[in-house]
Amino acid sequence: MNTDKLVIFSAPSGAGKTTIVHHLLKVIPQLQFSISACSRAMRKGEKNGEDYYFLSVDEFKNKIGADEFIEWEEVYKNNFYGTLKSEVERIWKLNRVAIFDVDVEGGINLKKKFGNKALAVFIMPPSVSSLRERLQQRETETPESIARRLGKAENELKTANRFDKIILNDSLSRALQEAELIVKEFLT
């Protein structure tokens, strides 16, 4: 197997990419989650070095200055997110395939950088109103942060055709099946 491959999942916030990526990590053992760095506050249940490398805004900016990122975005004001070069090297040294859960801008940038080595998948929600319901139901966001996330969704949906594959996440079980099939096909 060529492990120098990457699998990228992108979508507007609340579309279900984290749920789908977690499922794939359970059922496809070659995959290894690419842990991004970010400067937002840790949510209940999250662990540093597992969900993200949690950094202060200053620490994040220092790493930008030191050219330590493959890509980074200020996804929301003062909430920086990015993929460290050292992270992809760590995964490739393990002979595993890196799987990314990144915003659409990050997904497009990674795809540009890695070309055919990368499979870029867009998770399409059934509607913008379903994003609101899912974010409310997830109980991780304040009303302001939900509004901020929904404010970006409309434009993010327009980028779907720049991805290799689009998966509609209406029925979760069907979306999980489709994601599994697409990734397995890419890896063989």
Dist CA 49 CA 37 (whole Å) = 9
CB of 130 to ligand 5GP, least distance (A): 16
Per partner kind, with CB cut-offs from 5 to 8 A, the member of ligand ADP, ligand 5GP, none near residue 3 is none
Distance CA 51, CA 33 (A): 9
- Residue span binding ligand 5GP (CB under 6 A) among the ranges 68-76, 116-124, 165-173, 176-184: 68-76
Q: Is 3 in the site for ligand ADP (CB under 6 A)?
A: no
Return the number of the residue (40 or 138) whose C-beta is nearest ligand ADP: 138
- Asked if 138 touches ligand ADP (CB under 6 A), the answer is yes
User: Cα separation of 106 and 3, whole Å?
Assistant: 21
CB of 188 to ligand 5GP, least distance (A): 26
| String of DSSP letters for 63-124 | HHHTT-EEEEEEEETTEEEEEEHHHHHHHHHTT-EEEEEE-HHHHHHHHHHHGGGEEEEEEE
Span interacting with ligand ADP, options 44-52, 77-85, 87-95, 168-176, rule CB under 6 A: 168-176
Does 101 bind ligand 5GP (CB under 6 A)? Our answer is: yes
Binding to ligand ADP in span 10-29, by CB under 6 A: 11, 13-19
Q: How many CB atoms lie within 10 A of CB 151?
A: 10
CA–CA gap between residue 1 and residue 186 (Å, rounded): 11
Binding site for ligand ADP (CB under 6 A): 11, 13-19, 134, 137-138, 169, 172, 175
